[in-house]
Chain A
Amino acid sequence: MSAMTIAEKILAQHSGKESVSPGDLLFAKVDRILGTDVTASLSIQVFKDMGAEKVFDPSLLVLVNDHFVPAKDIQAAQLSKNMRQFAHEQGVDAYFEVGRSGICHSIVPDQGLVKPGDLLVGADSHTCTYGAVGALATGVGSTDMAAAWALGELWFRVPSTIRVEVTGKLKPFVGAKDVILHVISKLGVDGALYKVLEFHGDTIEAMNIDERITISNMAVEAGAKSGIIPSDEITLTYMKEVGVHDAQLLDADPDAHYDSVLRVDVSDLKPQVAKPYLPSNAVDVDEVVGQQLEQVVIGSCTNGRVSDFEVAWRLLQGKKVHPSTRLLIIPSTREIFQQLMANGWANDFVEAGAVITPSTCGPCIGGHMGVLAEEETGLYTTNRNFVGRNGHPTSKVFLSGPAVAAVSAIRGKITNPEVMF
């Protein structure tokens, strides 16, 4: 049996093979299939066109209301209604309703619906997030999702893997987002096309699950199929917290074959900001300080977790958001929002002048609840800043981690937290 990367091990195991190699085409059983209010309806139509009546196994399905909820308009309400009816007809337990829901990429791990070694597909490009707990997870289209619902399996082309070694202790105000923006700037938006990024090194090993989620979440911004982190004791502790007691340690074989190895020393890394209109446009924050901001958003599937809000709260408590700037705080799930309230942070954010929105993808996709007008500029902790993504085509979005976002909201312009404190 040949040595394998983590992705190769997972695909071999799920296709009943001893070993697989990059380029192999195979059918593999999936452990979960994620759909959201924006993608499930299309798949339901395809599912019916396939002549399917019952899903292969309702326990494989996860259906989350997060993109246009609470319903933005009649059309969005209909999309959620279609998904709700389908979940009911098919007996899907993992259906998440508004109020008990959240952003899918926080819901899936926090509800114990993914574990190390799992193979997961989702009709959402940031499905790659679950690499944070050692799963191979990737985004697929609506036809693929419908076929997976019907068959419990899907075809895959075994991707090659780029090993990313991240080493060094991060400086104050520098976090996981700065690391991944820096890595993507080295790879380019298509630098990992059809490949998997496998993250190693002492910087990654020192990160908690929230931080690892930020890393894996953005793998797709370098074109990657997924971004996987080996599971370790930190992973297993988290899995127990979310009620999964059979999680295993998982790493690549020592002599596994990699497409290439990228070594990044982050000991001197400065806070990073990705300029419009690509996530790969990361520069040191100093290069863009002073840029006026109409809106700052802290949240999303990239940076909407307790650790992210803790970073923001430390910088924002007792301060005021600049009069010409709007600050949106989006806790990813109900439980994260409850934590913000229990810690008193929610009140401090509101005192500072922020608005706390429901758990939604809204502003990140320019959907609702904080869309940008013509010529407006934002600084978001989200994952994409393509032309028009967050509002009017002439609007601009810079991407950063929560520390830069928090101090920039106070100053009303892009600010380096190292200088401010």
Chain B
Amino acid sequence: MSGTPDLLALGDDALIAAQRLAEWVSRAPTLEEDVALANIALDQLGAARLLLTAAGERMAPPRTEDELAFLRDDHAFRNCLLVELPLGPARGDLDFGWTTAWLLLLSAAQLLRYTDLAASGDELAAAIGAKAVKESTYHLDHASQWVVRLGDGTPESHRRMQDALDAVWPYAHELTEGVRERWLALVEPVLEAATLTRPADRWTPSGGRLGQHTEHLSYLLAEMQSLHRAHPGASW
């Protein structure tokens, strides 16, 4: 992820994150939060489309965003493991505290990646980065607001927030490769304000950037790709 910007990896992160977040639609704790999460999911999808289109144009032979999104198998995806995890302790779970912890780690890293992209000499990549920076800034703010409220809330919400943070923290190593120190500078003050304990760095699962994924990605792709594979080229 260092040197030339890896548009495919960034695009896959955004695409898989969008699909995960979309699971919240119609199921969030309040109507207001439902719209907020759907907004963030659509921002992620918008960034994914731009990034995958740009990445596909540079491939030989060139590939479209739809080909990249719908016609690749799991081992060809370059997203980090964090984004493919279920948004709760087990597959099919939807845990709101878990989701806010996940979004905090993810959006802080995306903000840094997009900031670097915006400053790169690659004109197209820089334009995509500049647009996405504003969106990621808001995603980080939204996640931070909730992490602080839940972490510094009731004993029950604090315990669940800490459990969720502990569970997703190891996956942030792969997510933040090359930007770890800057990322910690964004995330640690939020954890402190939330009275949460920053988890120790121990287990560091990785492999997503190489196409070695958890089983969760296969289930996610099956749902995301089934329509396109059954009806190639279908449009609304």
Partners in one complex: no
